[in-house]
Amino acid sequence: MLKKLKILLLIMSLTTCLGLMSSTYSRYVASAKSDINAQFSKWQILVDSIDITSNSQSSVNITPIIEENQFIASDTIAPSSKGYFDIIIDPTNVDVSFNYDIVLNVLNKNIPDLLISKYAILPNTYIEGDTLEFIPIVNNNIKNALLYNKNEPGYTFKPFTIRIYFEWFEGTNEVMNDEADTNIGTLAVNENTVLEMNANITFEQIIE
């Protein structure tokens, strides 16, 4: 009788253990479904109001401003002329740090003294005539990084303007002599020569 009781207790004990194991296992296999919502970082940059991030290549027209000179007709280029053009960049819809790289070219190869010299960053609060900080342009290239400030709640990049200056250099290191200057003027009469420059702008996200 005692032997039967021990066997019965053993069977009951095994049954209890299996029950606990089954209960534990069921917790492992139990599943739950939930939606995970996370916003993707925005990446849209406007250059002169044109969305350049939606196409691999975009074309933007840039209008130069020629500084007035009492000895030269308005809106024309001649030795000692100076001017600038603006590139307006709007990264309001960008949520990541990024680089921008601008490669500039003067396409008028017959005017080697026409140089792209310096640039300034105009904030969106700029009023014409405000003091600017000028930065020399080396090798016709402008390259800067804009860092996203995630420590500022609701932070957004602000639109800004890059003002790029050029000039028809006259001085001790000039390449063209008086005869070459005159030839350009004569060529302009016969062929309606115009100032030609381009700016190749590249934007790239900073990802570490």
Please state the domain extents for the chain.
43-205
CA-CA distance, 117 to 103, in Å (whole number)?
13
- Look at residue 7 and tell me whether its pLDDT is greater than 70: no
Q: Please, which residues have CB within 8 angstroms of residue 197's CB and are 6 or more apart in sequence?
A: 62, 64, 85, 104, 105, 106, 107, 116, 166
Task: Say which CATH topology domain 43-205 has.
Answer: Immunoglobulin-like (2.60.40)
Given a cut of 90, is residue 185 above it in pLDDT? no
Which tens digit of pLDDT belongs to each residue from 59-114? 677 778 888 888 777 877 777 888 898 999 999 999 999 999 998 888 777 777 78
| Residue 173: Cβ within 10 Å count | 7
pLDDT band for position 11 (cuts 50, 70, 90) = very low
Please give the pLDDT value at position 195. Answer: 72
Buried b (16+ CB within 10 A) or exposed e, 117-149: ebbbbbeeeeeeeeeeeeeebeeeebeeebebe
Cβ proximity of 187 and 110 under 8 Å: yes
